[in-house]
Every structure is written in C-alpha cells, then in structure tokens.
Structure 1
Amino acid sequence: MSNLIKNVYIIHGYGASAEHHWFPWLKKELEKKDTNVVILNLPAPNSPNSNEWSNALKEQIKIIDKNSYFIAHSLGCISLLKFLEALPNSTKIGGYILVSGFNAPLFILKELDAFLKPTIDYEKLKNISSNRVVISSKDDSIVPFNLSNNLSNSLDAKLLVEEKGGHFLETDGFEEFPLVLNEFNKFLNE
C-alpha cells in the first residue's frame, strides 16, 4: 500500500446533500486512513440540472490521479460517470464505487432522463480503473435492481447485492454503510 495521500470524492444523489444518509459517517471513517475526503454539494438537488451538476463536479474535484477515488449514490453515479468520461483518455484513477446507480430511465423520475444523454463510452470508463464496484439492493423502489445490474454489466464492474437495503437512504436505516467502507479498503489493499 502506498503512503501517498488518497483523495476521495463522495457524490450525493437526487434530493440529498453532503449532510444526508451515510455520507458524513463515511467521510469520518475514511479520514482515519490518511485520506482527504470531499463530499460534493451539488446545486438544486430537488430539481437537478445535468449541466449544473456537471459544472459543479468540474469545480469541486481538484485532484484526478491514481490516488483519487470516487463514491457516488443514485443520480450522483451517472453524473460521476459522465464527468470521468470527459477526462483525457490517458487518465487513471484509483477506483469508483457506485451505489444504486442506473444508466436507463427511471419510470418514477422522468425528469432525470436528461442526465442519461448522450450515451456513455463504457470502454473508456473500464480503462480508467480496474477497481469498479456497483452496489444494489433487490428491494430498491427508486432504482430497480435490474437497472443497477445493467450498469454493472456495462462497466464490467463487481456487483454487490443486498437483499434488503432499499435505496440506501437514512429512511432505509443507512446512516452508516460498512459495505462501502469495506470495498474502499479492498481498493487500498490491492
């Protein structure tokens, strides 16, 4: 394991902020490991705009290298993937973990369809890091399991499935999320 400082960026989803769900807990846990952790604050999370979120990622993500890691939730996942896809082809990062991610329309949130266009270059996103994880729940009522499964297949990512986790929100009992921390630790130990 390298002594270099790791930079971790946590990207929230629709209707959330840096103070929601398991994000503050994860930041605190990750900071125990010589990591610099930033939880991005994305504009207008209750009525998100893909261009505004894209610009916010560009402004807030300062370091992008092999010691940079990304953890995203829900709508933050597709926003992160579009951000990574726009980086130079030679870019390499430490890895990314996508929680309840999707790459197809959500029938209950049609207003988010703009985030899905244009389609993504999955080959580029595979080449940016060999550490790729998607976490999903069989009982997610917001992002159906099959959509996260499809995203995992598109990225050739490791898929971790919880039987009961809902959308991994505070209201689902997720103020802490040890599974994400454990997967991040595996990245560091490789």
Structure 2
Amino acid sequence: MKKIKKPTGLNRSHYNVVLVHGWLSTPRHHWFPWLQKKLRAMGFQVLAPAMPQAIKPDKDKWLAKLEKTVAPLDPAKTILVGHSLGVPTILYLLQKHRGRKFRHAVLVSGLARQIPYLDKIATGYDMDFDWKRLPRKAKLWTVIHGDQDPIVPIKESRWIARNLQTKLWVEKGQGHFTQYRGVFKLKDVLTAITCNQNLSQEIKQNIKCVSGRPLELPRALNQIIKFLK
C-alpha cells in the first residue's frame, strides 16, 4: 500500500490542515479525498498521513506518526481533523503539546473513553485525558457526530463536547460517515474549517464560506469570542 509522503519545504505563511483517519482506513477512504481536494483548491496546505497498522492500531505508533507530521508546522496556523480513532489520537497529541495553541480541532465520530470493543481492535488507548487542561490546547473546537452511528454511539461525542466546553453538531439520520454507507462528502467539516474562524486575506480570496448548515448566532458568537481570546 503506497503511503502519502509528507511534503518538504512547508510554508509557514499558509494555513495547514492535518487529517487523521481511523481504524481500517487510509487517507484515501470515505470523505477524506473530497475534503483534501476542496481545501487544496482554496489554498490550504493539507497533510494526510497514512497511520501505521490501521488494521490493529497502536496508540504510541499513531501518536509518533502524528507528532512527526505536525512537528514542522506552526500550531497557530494548523487545523487538526480527526475521524473515529483519529479523534483520541489528536487528543493525545494535544495533551502532550507544549507551546502555542493549535488553531482548531475538528473531531468527527470520535470517542475519548473506553467502549466495549476498543481493546479488541487497538492497543494503548487508555483514554486518560486531563479535561481541565485539554480545552486550552486549541483556540477552537468542533465536535460532529451522526445520530444513527452504529459504531461509536453519539453519546461519546456528547461526552467529548461537554468536556471541551463546546457545542455538538449533530447530523440527523447519519451514521459513522463512511463510504460503505455512501458518504464521500462531509460538508459540516468544510463548514467548520472555512466559516468558524478568522482566516488571512490570502486564504479568504480563494474561499466562499462553504456552509453546509446555518450557524446559530449564539454558537457563532461563542466561537468568535473564544478565537479572539
């Protein structure tokens, strides 16, 4: 299986989006190819590392891969997007991180505590997170989940959103957002990235706010206030 190589000569003036796939997946699965194409057309620099041993993920190996991917990037200009098991991997990264806050973390169909089958499909995911400090590791948080998810129940994202002191975006009638259920696009993620933050003019001139849903006024105000702090 051919791996996507990390580009060299990263331009720190650009906004970076790092995509972290989940179990039994690659950067070429589900809605990741569509999102990469959309973001690159808008001027974002997109990195989508292929995590090692996706059939039996090891937390330490996945975390090491993600740390290596983000090491050259300016956290203040970097947006992290995780799907499924990519979500706790991002949370582990942020928990260890010292320094400037990351720009934004978008967590899709994720989990951050033990569920019955987790130890059968992955190793090392003890889900020991410091919820007092973790919310301060990113300027913005977006949590997205389908209310018909048969793999990771929506209550897991409710738990995450509550601990991160943010809102949960619910996709009505949707499952785990996989290609096996016909999901090759996920506009809420694009909305979260393009509409919920102050982007530079360099990026803005290539973007129309791609809104897959109307933002509620209180939510939008809360996001802006949090972003400007």
**TM-score, with length taken from structure 2:** 0.76
Equivalent position of 1:12 in the other structure: 21
CA distance in 2, matches of 1:93, 1:5: 14
Q: Are residue 76 (structure 1) and residue 105 (structure 2) matched? A: no
**2:16/2:46 contact within 8 Å kept:** yes
The one-letter code matched in structure 2 to 1:52 is: K
The one-letter code matched in structure 1 to 2:140 is: N
CA distance in 1, matches of 2:160, 2:120: 20
Q: Are residue 96 (structure 1) and residue 105 (structure 2) matched? A: yes
Q: Are residue 161 (structure 1) and residue 170 (structure 2) matched? A: yes
CA distance in 1, matches of 2:155, 2:86: 18
Q: Are residue 56 (structure 1) and residue 65 (structure 2) matched? A: yes
| Helix, strand or coil at the partner of 1:122 | coil
CA distance in 2, matches of 1:76, 1:37: 16
Name stretches of at least 5 consecutive residues in structure 1 with no aligned partner. none
Q: Are residue 120 (structure 1) and residue 129 (structure 2) matched? A: yes
Q: As a proportion of its length, which structure holds more strand?
A: 1
Q: Are residue 131 (structure 1) and residue 140 (structure 2) matched? A: yes
CA distance in 2, matches of 1:187, 1:115: 33
C-alpha RMSD of the superposition: 1.8
Name stretches of at least 5 consecutive residues in structure 2 with no aligned partner. 1-11, 199-223, 225-229
Per-residue deviation, residues 113-155 of structure 1 (Å, max 9, x unmatched): 6443251122322112231011011110110011111111111
**1:8/1:38 contact within 8 Å kept:** yes
Q: Are residue 66 (structure 1) and residue 45 (structure 2) matched? A: no
- Once the two structures are aligned, what percentage of the paired residues are identical? 27
**1:105/1:113 contact within 8 Å kept:** no
Per-residue deviation, residues 59-84 of structure 1 (Å, max 9, x unmatched): 22231421100000000000111011
| Helix, strand or coil at the partner of 1:66 | helix
| Structure number, greater radius of gyration | 2
The one-letter code matched in structure 2 to 1:34 is: G
Equivalent position of 2:185 in the other structure: 176
| Helix, strand or coil at the partner of 2:76 | coil
C-alpha spacing 1:64/1:158, structure 2 compared with 1 (3 Å): farther
**TM-score, with length taken from structure 1:** 0.91
Per-residue deviation, residues 11-59 of structure 1 (Å, max 9, x unmatched): 0000000100000110111112221001111001011111111111122
**1:94/1:187 contact within 8 Å kept:** no
Equivalent position of 2:227 in the other structure: none
The one-letter code matched in structure 1 to 2:32 is: F
> How much has 1:5 moved relative to structure 2?
0.9
Equivalent position of 2:220 in the other structure: none
Equivalent position of 2:114 in the other structure: 105
Range moving further from structure 2, 10-19 or 166-175:
166-175
CA distance in 2, matches of 1:70, 1:45: 19
CA distance in 1, matches of 2:103, 2:95: 15
Q: Are residue 26 (structure 1) and residue 35 (structure 2) matched? A: yes
| Helix, strand or coil at the partner of 2:183 | coil
The one-letter code matched in structure 2 to 1:84 is: L
> How much has 1:164 moved relative to structure 2?
1.4
**2:146/2:175 contact within 8 Å kept:** yes
